[in-house]
Homo-oligomer: A and B are copies of this chain.
Amino acid sequence: MADQVKEWKELGAQLRVDSIRCTTAAGSGHPTSSMSAADLMAVLLSKYLHYDWSNPHHPNNDRLIFSKGHACPLLYSMYKAAGAITDKELLTLRKFGSRLEGHPNPHVLPYVDVATGSLGQGLPIGVGMALNGQYLDKLPYHVWVVLGDSEVAEGSIWEAFDKASYYKLNRLIAILDMNRLGQRGETDLGWNSAAYAARARAFGWHAIELDGHDVIAIDQAYSEALAQNDQPTCLIAKTEKGHGVSFLANKDGWHGKALNADQAKEALAELGGERHIIVTVPKPEAKQPVSTPPSKPLKLPTYSVGGKEATRKAYGDALVALGAHRPDMVVMDGEVSNSTHADEFKKAFPERFFEMFIAEQQLVGAAVGFGVLKKRAFASTFAAFFTRAYDQIRMAAISNATIHLSGSHAGVSIGEDGPSQMALEDLAMMRAVCGSTVLYPCDANQTAKLVAQMVDLPGISYLRTTREKTPIVYSPDERFPLGGSKVLKSSAKDRVAVVAGGITVHEAIKAYETLQKEAIAIRVIDTYSVKPIDKETLHNAAKETDGKLVVVEDHWFEGGLGDAVLDAFAGVGERPPTVVKLAVKKMPGSGTPAELMNAAGIDASHIAAAVKSLL
């Protein structure tokens, strides 16, 4: 034991030394936030973390998430100690082109599962990973999440605490690095370890208070955590920011500051200088996920042309069809599954459905957790409420995660419930996500076909569905390639092209019929793929109408379908067409869908008027 204690202390010192060395080499970064957790990580790395460094994607690897992503100098120092990266690479921290970015990023580094750096997101993702191990893959891996004390002020952390105990995730272990100091001073709870423990316990966790620099206490706490059978564990480790160096330890004013060369020299001397220990990290048992039921042929639901169905219902129906075909699918919802119709999947495959209750940040976080462990995760809620998780969605793109989101109840056409329930910014929000795909079907058959394609889409994909039942305009054998569109009405005499998506497609068809009676021919284009958008069809329409387009959408004026269409004409080439945008411009209230679409100026009558304004 004495030898092991000495080894842990040496490793802890090395992790501190390396955290200082790499940040000093970078000229920026967070050495002191790394040093507080170094002893905790030394014990974890050499005894508890089971990880195959030659195979970062081994399904039974433990998962280590630095929710306090700014402490990545420590994480990268652990990679060096594990022999996964060289000392030379460690010193490339924060340099252009280095894999060692200022916050951990799986785009470039295979040992990092998820991007962190926006605080409070690691634990909700860890919940998803632990759910995967416990309920789907049935593997004994542990998920270790290093939390900063400042980030425990984020509500997303408590969403995760709540769900972790609800689902009895005993292999989820949070390590709270309670170093007392935030960026600009003391945290709201300081070193009040008892308060953190009381909160964790009230949320159903096993909590252990300990000295985070006492390696024996750390060892005992990890053992105790592993012994829990039906509760997740939170270690509340009292630590010092900058521990081990007298001029840094527990001193304010050192957050996010690299030491200069002289300071680094002094600090290293106090820490006993450079070390280059390589630790033998325990490997995971060679277990594989439990086998899943065989895939059945895909048989999508179909709807009869001329009938009516809500695209949200078709989403639910399609999930069920896909569920039988894709055993790797998992579905979640934010307590509105009977509105989004994700409950259809729940009824068919209860073992692959997870209720996240009204906690949208956790909903998306869990989807990311499943996604990085190769599940095809679908998460749904009212489209308006994905605004609650925009930071998580943004970060999911940095995580290189694949998640599938479906937002129902888009736009003023939801009617009586009023503006709080209307998604009017979701297209803008989702378009502005790196590498995202944004889909907006207008009928049930189209919805089913798009959901079937979503399942294999990498990155962040988003489907916008409508509350109201809309006419079925496409036959079940129609195809809807991503990046495509459908020309629903066209002739050689088209004078204006109307570009619509979702519910406004049906208004555009009505306008077509009205205008036909007045001998005004218009083209109607259904842009079900908002991103990527079908540039070719739009350019043809512009050419053939002498540059006259009307775009109509149930969304705010800014950032939605209208802007996507304008973007399609940006760049060097032919002079862009005239585009009249019809969109929601003032705050809607309650009313019938028809009343509200009329008041917003996006119904058939306004489309017809806009067409005429261009003639």
Interface residues of A (CB under 8 A from B): 26-29, 69, 94-98, 100-103, 105, 107-108, 115-120, 150-151, 153-159, 162-163, 166, 182-184, 187-188, 195, 198-199, 201-204, 335-339, 343, 357-362, 384-385, 387-388, 390-391, 394-395, 397-398, 416-421, 424-425, 428-429, 431-435, 531, 547, 556-560, 562-564, 566-567, 569-573, 575-581, 586-587, 589-592, 595-596, 599, 613-614
A589 engages B108 (CB within 8 Å): yes
- Residues on B with beta carbons closer than 8 Å to the beta carbon of A556: 432-434
Q: Considering the complex, give the chain B residue whose CB is closest to the CB of A417.
A: B102
B387 engages A391 (CB within 8 Å): yes
Q: How far is the CA of A202 from the CA of B507 in the complex (A)?
A: 54
Partner among B107, B339, B435, B559 whose Cβ is within 8 Å of the Cβ of A431: B559
Partner among B154, B184, B576 whose Cβ is within 8 Å of the Cβ of A579: B576
Partner among B27, B103, B571, B592 whose Cβ is within 8 Å of the Cβ of A96: B592
**A431-B558, A562-B570 are known contacts; what are 15 more A-B pairs with Cβ within 8 Å?**
A28-B417, A94-B418, A103-B417, A103-B420, A107-B589, A117-B420, A118-B421, A150-B335, A151-B358, A153-B335, A154-B358, A199-B199, A434-B587, A571-B581, A575-B576
Partner among B153, B429, B577 whose Cβ is within 8 Å of the Cβ of A432: B429
- Most chain-B CB neighbours within 10 Å: which of A119, A187, A416, A531? A416
A selection of 21 A-B contacts at a CB cut-off of 8 Å is A96-B591, A101-B419, A101-B590, A103-B421, A119-B358, A151-B358, A154-B359, A154-B388, A155-B156, A195-B202, A398-B419, A398-B420, A428-B559, A432-B558, A435-B587, A557-B567, A558-B563, A558-B567, A567-B581, A571-B579, A572-B578
B558 engages A357 (CB within 8 Å): no
- Residues on B with beta carbons closer than 8 Å to the beta carbon of A358: 119-120, 150-151, 153-154, 182
A398 engages B587 (CB within 8 Å): yes
- Residues on B with beta carbons closer than 8 Å to the beta carbon of A434: 424, 556, 586-587
A575 engages B575 (CB within 8 Å): yes
A384 engages B394 (CB within 8 Å): yes
B357 engages A420 (CB within 8 Å): no
Q: How far is the CA of A378 from the CA of B450 in the complex (A)?
A: 43
B425 engages A429 (CB within 8 Å): yes
Q: Would you give the shortest CB distance from A67 to chain B, in whole angstroms? A: 12
- Residues on B with beta carbons closer than 8 Å to the beta carbon of A559: 428, 431-432, 558-559, 563
Contacts A102-B416, A416-B28: A155 and B158 contacting too (C-beta < 8 A)?
Answer: yes
- Residues on B with beta carbons closer than 8 Å to the beta carbon of A566: 563, 566-567, 570
Partner among B569, B572, B580, B599 whose Cβ is within 8 Å of the Cβ of A571: B580
Q: How far is the CA of A517 from the CA of B559 in the complex (A)?
A: 38
Q: How far is the CA of A198 from the CA of B201 in the complex (A)?
A: 9
Copies assembled? 2
Q: How far is the CA of A372 from the CA of B244 in the complex (A)?
A: 49
Q: Which 4 A-B pairs have the closest CB atoms?
A: A155-B155, A117-B420, A96-B591, A428-B432
Q: How far is the CA of A252 from the CA of B340 in the complex (A)?
A: 18
- Residues on B with beta carbons closer than 8 Å to the beta carbon of A97: 589, 591
Partner among B184, B338, B429, B587 whose Cβ is within 8 Å of the Cβ of A183: B338
- Residues on B with beta carbons closer than 8 Å to the beta carbon of A117: 417-421
A431 engages B429 (CB within 8 Å): no
Q: How far is the CA of A177 from the CA of B445 in the complex (A)?
A: 42
Partner among B387, B562, B590 whose Cβ is within 8 Å of the Cβ of A102: B590
Q: How far is the CA of A596 from the CA of B98 in the complex (A)?
A: 13
- Residues on B with beta carbons closer than 8 Å to the beta carbon of A385: 118, 391
Q: How far is the CA of A127 from the CA of B50 in the complex (A)?
A: 44
Partner among B94, B95, B419, B572 whose Cβ is within 8 Å of the Cβ of A115: B419
B361 engages A155 (CB within 8 Å): yes
- Residues on B with beta carbons closer than 8 Å to the beta carbon of A595: 96
Q: Considering the complex, give the chain B residue whose CB is closest to the CB of A197.
A: B202
- Residues on B with beta carbons closer than 8 Å to the beta carbon of A202: 195, 198-199, 201-202
Q: How far is the CA of A101 from the CA of B118 in the complex (A)?
A: 36
- Residues on B with beta carbons closer than 8 Å to the beta carbon of A159: 153-155
- Residues on B with beta carbons closer than 8 Å to the beta carbon of A337: 184
- Residues on B with beta carbons closer than 8 Å to the beta carbon of A395: 420
Q: Would you give the shortest CB distance from A153 to chain B, in whole angstroms? A: 4
- Residues on B with beta carbons closer than 8 Å to the beta carbon of A397: 587
